[in-house]
Chain A
Amino acid sequence: MVGDSRGATPPVQRLIDEFNRLPGIGPKSAQRLTYHLIRMPVEQAESLASAITSMKNQIILCSVCFNITDTDPCDICLNNSRERSKLCVVEQPLDVVALERTSSFDGLYHVLHGSISPINGIGPEDLKIRELLERMRTESFDEIILAMNPNLEGEATSMYINRLIGDLGARITRPARGLPVGGDLEYADDATLGRALEGRQDF
C-alpha cells in the first residue's frame, strides 16, 4: 500500500498500487491517474485495459535480431530495401528506436538485451552473444557497428565482442564519442572532451 490514500476502497487502492510500480510514477501520480480513470467512460477504460493485455500477448522477440516485434521475423529483418551488409549491435530494444529515429542508418540490428556487468554477475552467456556469432556465420556482413552505451559495462561488452568476432573478416566500427548538440563545452567531462578532440573532422 502506498501514498496517503487510506480512504480508498480496496479496488481503487489496488489500481493505485499497480500504477505506482511503473517507472516515473510516484504515489501521488498513481492516485491522480486512478481517480482520472474513475471518471472515465467504461468503454475508454476497457480499451486501455485491452490495449495493455493485447500488447503483452502479441509481442514476441524476433528470432533473427531479438528486437521486440509482433511478427517473426520483424519488419526490419524482412525489409529488402535495407542494406543487409551492415549490422548494428545494441543493448536494448529502445536503442533500436533511438537509432531508427535518426534515419541515418539503414542496415540491420542485433539486440543483446543487456550488457556485461561482472559486479552484478551478468556475463556474456546471459546476453544474445551466441546468437550474434551464429548470425555472423549464416549471413554475410561487411560492417559490424558496436553501438553499446558509452560506459564501462558497454565498453567491456564491445571489447569482448570485438575479441570474439575481430578475426571473422567484417569491419568493426563504433559510433563516435563527442559533444552533445546544444551542450556547453565547459561542462563536458574530460573523457568526452578528450575523445571529441581525438575524433575531430575537417570543417
Chain B
Amino acid sequence: MTRGRNYQTEAIVLKYRPIGESDRLITFFSSTLGRITGIARGVRRPGSRLGGSLEPLNIVQVSLARGRLFETVSETSVIKDFDGIKSDLNKVALALYVAELTDSFADDWSSNQKLYDLVGRTLADFNKNEYPLYLIHFFELKLLKFVGYDPEFWECVECREKLLPDKYPFAPDMGGVLCSKCQLNFDYFPLHISLGAMKILRYLQRQKDNESISSGVTLPQLDLKEVSEILRNYLRFVAERQLKSTAFLDLVTEMPFGDTSKFT
C-alpha cells in the first residue's frame, strides 16, 4: 500500500525507546503497512496527548506524517489495551516475547495481514483469564509459517521420505527433521526431538491458521519443555540473534509467588 503525506493505520505497538529530551522512537506493526518506526514527540512529558496510548502491546489507530528518516506520530487512539495482560506478570512476559518475535520477523513497509491477525489474536487470547500453556508455541509455529520459515516435521528434509512419528534429529540450518538413513551423512546433531515432543509439534502445526487454538487439550509438561527448547533454538537460528525477552520469560514463569530463593 502506498502512503500519502498524512495517513492513518491500525497498528500494534511493539516497543519503544527514549530519544532526545522527551520523545520516544516507537516501533509499530501495522495491518496494512508492516513494520513502521515513528517518532512521538513530547510523550515522556506528563500531560502529553499521546502518552498513555503508545504503551507496548496496545492496538491503536494511529495518524502518521511521512518523514525523511522516521514517520512522525501525530495522533493516536487506543482500540485495545489488553489490561488483562498488563495486570499479570507472566502474561506481560509472554506478550513481550510475542512482541519481540514480531519485531524480529516482520518486514518494514511490507504488509503481512496473516501475521498481524495472528499477533492480535494471540494477545487477545492471553488477555483472557485462562489460556492454554502451549499457546505460545502455537504462536511461534504459525509466525514461522507466515514469514516463510515453516519447519518440517513430517518428512525428511533430505530425501523427502514420509516419517512415522518417532524420535528424529532436528537440523535448524536445514529447516527440519532428518530420517535415520540421511542422518548418517551428517556427523553432528545437537537436537533430537523425542516422540512426545514430535507429536505436540505436529499437532500444533496442523491446527487452523486463522483460528484461536482450543484450550481443551492437556499436553505433558515435560514434552512441552522440549518443544519450547526446539522452537527457541530454531527461532534463534532463523533470527540470527539471541532473543532478549526469553531470559525474563523463563525467570517469571518458573518463579512461584513469594519465592526469594533466586536472590538469596
Chain A residues near B (Cβ < 8 Å): 23-24, 116, 118-121, 123-124, 129-130, 133, 151-152, 155-156, 159-160, 163-168, 180, 183, 187, 189-192
Min CB distance, A69 to chain B, in Å? 25
Min CB distance, B25 to chain A, in Å? 12
Judge whether B51 is part of the interface by a CB distance below 8 angstroms. Answer: yes
Contact call B263/A189, Cβ cutoff below 8 A: no
Complex: A128 Cα to B218 Cα, angstroms = 39
Residues on A with beta carbons closer than 8 Å to the beta carbon of B184: none
Contact call B52/A118, Cβ cutoff below 8 A: no
Contact call B99/A119, Cβ cutoff below 8 A: yes
- Of A121, A123, A152, the residue contacting B86 (CB under 8 A) is A152
The contact sample of 29 A-B pairs, CB cut-off 8 A, is A23-B20, A23-B21, A116-B248, A118-B93, A118-B96, A118-B249, A119-B15, A119-B100, A119-B244, A121-B245, A129-B263, A130-B263, A133-B263, A152-B86, A152-B92, A159-B87, A159-B89, A159-B92, A163-B258, A164-B259, A164-B260, A168-B258, A183-B47, A189-B51, A189-B52, A190-B52, A191-B52, A191-B81, A192-B52
Complex: A123 Cα to B250 Cα, angstroms = 11
Complex: A119 Cα to B20 Cα, angstroms = 20
Residues on B with beta carbons closer than 8 Å to the beta carbon of A116: 248
Residues on A with beta carbons closer than 8 Å to the beta carbon of B47: 180, 183
Min CB distance, B228 to chain A, in Å? 16
Contacts A120-B17, A123-B247, A163-B255 known; A180 to B99 CB distance under 8 Å? no
Residues on A with beta carbons closer than 8 Å to the beta carbon of B258: 163-164, 166-168
Complex: A123 Cα to B89 Cα, angstroms = 13
Contact call B255/A155, Cβ cutoff below 8 A: no
Among all A-B residue pairs, the 8 with the closest Cβ atoms: A167-B258, A189-B52, A121-B244, A118-B245, A118-B248, A159-B89, A24-B21, A118-B96
Judge whether B166 is part of the interface by a CB distance below 8 angstroms. Answer: no
Judge whether B107 is part of the interface by a CB distance below 8 angstroms. Answer: no
Contact call A189/B89, Cβ cutoff below 8 A: no
- Tell me the residues in window 66-115 of chain B with beta carbons closer than 8 Å to chain A beta carbons: 78, 81, 83, 86-89, 92-93, 96-97, 99-100, 103
Complex: A187 Cα to B53 Cα, angstroms = 12
Most buried by B among A118, A119, A159, A163: A118
- Of A123, A129, A168, the residue contacting B248 (CB under 8 A) is A123
Residues on A with beta carbons closer than 8 Å to the beta carbon of B190: none
Residues on B with beta carbons closer than 8 Å to the beta carbon of A160: 89, 252
Residue of A nearest to B57 (CB): A152
Residues on B with beta carbons closer than 8 Å to the beta carbon of A24: 20-21
